[in-house]
């Protein structure tokens, strides 16, 4: 039986999902309001925050995405379940 994942795993994954939600909403808004500089600033801030958090998550728990979008340490980490979309 595998060890349960630490609480930090779920907290960081939840925060990533929340940031992704905000980024998608801002993306949709900016599609119809491309001159809204405040929204663009918020979009860029959230994108930067997501990039940093994803990097921290991957260092601790392994890749979030496959096909070259995330690095893997040795040994190959995609064999380790659960994958982020399974929790």
> What is the pLDDT at residue 49?
97
Contacts of 18 (CB under 8 A, 6+ apart): none
Its pTM stands at 0.77
> What is the pLDDT at residue 1?
45
Give me the residue spans of the domains in the chain. 11-68
Alpha-carbon torsion angle 11, 13, 15, 19, nearest 10: 180
pLDDT in tens, the chain (87 residues): 466 889 999 999 999 999 999 999 999 999 999 999 999 999 999 999 999 999 999 999 888 877 665 655 666 566 666 777 677
Q: Which tens digits make up the pLDDT trace of 45-57?
A: 999 999 999 999 9
């Amino acid at each position: 039986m595998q060890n349960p994942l630490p609480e930090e795993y779920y907290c960081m994954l939840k925060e990533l999902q929340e940031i992704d939600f905000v980024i998608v909403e801002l993306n949709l808004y900016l599609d119809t309001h491309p001159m809204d500089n405040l929204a663009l600033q918020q979009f860029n801030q959230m994108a930067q925050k997501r990039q940093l958090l994803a990097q921290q998550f991957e260092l601790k728990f392994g890749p979030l995405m496959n096909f070259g979008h995330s690095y893997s340490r040795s040994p190959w980490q995609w064999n380790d379940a659960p994958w982020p979309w399974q929790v």
